[in-house]
């Protein structure tokens, strides 16, 4: 059977079918450090919509599961391909098909890196706002598949706010054009939004019409503020939000995260126990907003430095963006991604401290404090999550739910969060979502075992 599938793929796609052991090995894992069981049949490097359609027609004819992959930077195992599966990579589909400055839209292929797209747009004074910390290495298609967030979301929105349409290849190979090119559009059900964050379970995104912004004029200001402990930093961030000033970026790092990043970047060790807020303001009022925020931060006991220099600001943010590489140096991580209403951020840090205490684990945590999204990291040795880590993560997730929060703010469910999906959605909604998934994929070949797995 596997031999038949391979033969059909090779017949249709020739050299685009890759069965080198290193390629198959890489396709099993993502940046979470977790790997699928078994080895995929092949990696298909699609270069066109036709290639994707051909692959899916063969997959449907042979009932072979398909796992769509971009750059493999996911953090929930959602694109890990295992035994008996085809890994369908769209990483080679990197073209920018159209940029319209007057209409503020771009039409792109899914494999282009977020950073590459934004470099090209910057030349025209434009940008696509979604800004995951991985933007230099993650694809636009992957950003769409996970419904990615990032650092700028409180002010500039998430992927859902920045995509007008997607082209989708269904499990049986048919191509659909969903959404529109206009600012407004309500013709029928909003399937574009349904695809965003669906993690490869509904079809393969082969193109996207993106909603752009004009580059924000003026210089940015970057603030770094240290606090004696993480709870005070969280209170400070909530105070900034409540003050009504809207920073572009507001990131929180706890003491353990700061220490790990400083080690990785060979910076001087930070003050033990101290937590840090890194805040950036932009736009015409950046300087006055930075001063207003500095006042708020000092009012809750922060030690504040303001950088007007762009290079210094970028250096401060590099500390935050190095969190994931720093965690990788310590072992494998189960990265939680809970999101709570912004006012609940201090309470959520209390809950993390409680879980650390009760479970006897260290949980280095960073947060997109401006939008209430936290990334507590459970670090351990080896590829498999130990039972005591699952237990602590379960405790932490339920605490987030009690605070009005959600399981995953931006990483997606993948395999690492699927055990909790029904707890948040409830049985009725879980079944309804599963029913919708089956309408797209009646044979169950689109990324099976992800998101909705039992």
CA 325 to centroid of chain Cα atoms:
15
Our CB check for a copy of itself shows the closer of 72 and 409 to be 409
Does 105 bind a copy of itself (CB under 8 A)? Our answer is yes
Q: How far apart are CA 149 and CA 42, in angstroms?
A: 31
- Smaller CB separation from a copy of itself, 331 or 442: 442
Does residue 73 bind a copy of itself (CB under 8 A)?
no
- Residue closer to a copy of itself, measured from CB, 232 or 246: 246
Report if residue 177 touches a copy of itself, rule: CB under 8 A.
Answer: yes
Residue 430 interacting with a copy of itself (CB under 8 A): yes
Exactly one of 197, 200, 247, 270 binds a copy of itself (CB under 8 A); that residue is 197
- Count of residues near a copy of itself by CB under 8 A: 83
Out of 22, 186, 311, 381, the only residue in the binding site for a copy of itself (CB under 8 A) is: 186
196 counts as binding a copy of itself under rule CB under 8 A: yes
The verdict on 280 binding a copy of itself (CB under 8 A) reads no
Q: Which is nearer to a copy of itself, 138 or 339 (CB)?
A: 339
Judged by CB under 8 A, the chain residues 302 through 341 that form the site for a copy of itself are: 339-341
Judged by CB under 8 A, the residue of 43, 144, 154, 445 near a copy of itself is: 154
Q: Tell me which residues in 209-228 interact with a copy of itself (CB under 8 A).
A: 214
Rounded distance, CA 205 to CA 56, Å? Answer: 12
Q: Is 425 in the site for a copy of itself (CB under 8 A)?
A: yes
Please report, as residue ranges, which positions from 339 to 378 form the binding site for a copy of itself (by CB under 8 A): 339-343, 368, 371-373
Burial of 230 (0-12, 13-18, 19+ CB in 10 A): buried
Does the footprint of a copy of itself cover residue 132 (CB under 8 A)? no
Of 147 and 270, nearer to a copy of itself (C-beta) is 147
Asked if 102 touches a copy of itself (CB under 8 A), the answer is yes
| Least spacing, CB of residue 104 vs a copy of itself, in Å | 8
Output the smallest distance, CB 165 to a copy of itself, in A: 10
123 touches a copy of itself (CB under 8 A): no
Smallest gap from Cβ 257 to a copy of itself, in A, equals 19
**Which residue among 128, 227, 349, 440 contacts a copy of itself (CB under 8 A)?**
440
| Binding of residue 231 to a copy of itself (CB under 8 A) | no
**Tokens 């747009």, residue located:** 121
Instruction: Please list the residues that pair with 168 across neighbouring strands.
Output: 176, 205
- 146, 71 Cβ separation under 8 angstroms: no
Choices 8-16, 82-90, 179-187, 304-312 (CB under 8 A): range interacting with a copy of itself: 179-187
Residue showing tokens 């951020």 = 345
Measuring CA to CA, which residue among 108, 100, 97 is closest to residue 126?
A: 100
Question: Closest separation between CB of residue 129 and a copy of itself, Å?
Answer: 13
- State which residue, 192 or 257, has the beta carbon closest to a copy of itself: 192
Show contacts with a copy of itself in window 404-423 (CB under 8 A): 404-413, 417, 421
Question: At which residue do the structure tokens 């925020």 appear?
Answer: 293
Q: Rule CB under 8 A: which of 238-257 touch a copy of itself?
A: 238, 241-242, 244, 246
């Amino acid at each position: 059977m596997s031999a038949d599938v391979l033969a059909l793929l090779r017949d249709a796609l020739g050299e685009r079918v890759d069965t080198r052991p290193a390629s198959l090995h890489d396709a099993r894992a993502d940046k979470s450090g977790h790997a699928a069981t078994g080895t995929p049949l092949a990696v298909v490097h699609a270069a066109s919509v036709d290639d994707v359609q051909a692959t899916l027609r063969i997959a449907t004819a042979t009932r072979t599961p398909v796992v769509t992959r971009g750059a493999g930077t996911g953090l929930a195992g959602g694109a890990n391909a295992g035994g008996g599966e085809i890994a369908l990579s769209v990483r080679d589909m990197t073209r920018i098909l159209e940029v319209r400055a007057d209409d503020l839209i771009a039409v792109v292929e899914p494999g282009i890196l977020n950073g590459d797209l934004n470099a090209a747009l910057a030349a025209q004074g434009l940008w696509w706002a979604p800004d995951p910390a991985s933007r230099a290495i993650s694809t636009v298609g992957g950003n769409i598949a996970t419904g990615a967030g990032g650092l700028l979301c409180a002010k500039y929105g998430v992927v859902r706010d920045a995509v007008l349409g997607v082209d989708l290849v269904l499990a049986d190979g048919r191509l659909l054009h969903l959404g529109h090119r206009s600012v407004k559009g309500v013709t029928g059900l909003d399937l574009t939004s349904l695809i965003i964050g669906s993690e490869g379970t509904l079809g393969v995104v082969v193109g996207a019409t993106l909603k752009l912004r004009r580059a924000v004029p003026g210089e940015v200001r970057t603030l770094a503020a240290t606090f004696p402990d993480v709870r005070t930093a969280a209170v400070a961030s909530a105070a900034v939000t409540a003050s009504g000033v809207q920073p572009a970026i507001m990131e929180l790092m706890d003491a353990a995260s700061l220490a790990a990043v400083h080690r990785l970047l060979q910076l001087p060790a930070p003050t033990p126990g101290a937590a840090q807020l890194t805040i950036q303001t932009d736009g015409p009022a950046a300087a006055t907003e930075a001063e207003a925020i500095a006042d708020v931060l000092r009012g809750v006991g922060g030690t504040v430095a303001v950088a007007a220099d762009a290079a210094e600001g970028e250096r401060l943010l590099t500390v935050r963006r190095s969190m994931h590489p720093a965690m990788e140096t310590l072992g494998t991580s189960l990265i939680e991604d809970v999101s709570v209403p912004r006012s609940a951020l201090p309470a959520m840090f209390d809950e993390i401290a409680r879980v650390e205490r009760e479970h006897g684990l260290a949980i280095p945590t960073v947060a997109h404090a401006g939008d209430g999204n936290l990334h507590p990291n459970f670090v351990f040795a080896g590829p498999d999550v130990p039972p005591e880590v699952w237990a602590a993560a379960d405790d932490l997730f339920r605490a987030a739910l009690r605070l009005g929060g959600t399981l995953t703010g931006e990483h997606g469910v993948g395999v690492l969060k699927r055990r909790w999906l029904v707890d948040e959605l409830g049985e009725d909604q879980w079944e309804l979502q599963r029913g919708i998934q089956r309408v797209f994929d009646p044979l169950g070949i689109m990324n099976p075992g992800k998101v909705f797995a039992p």
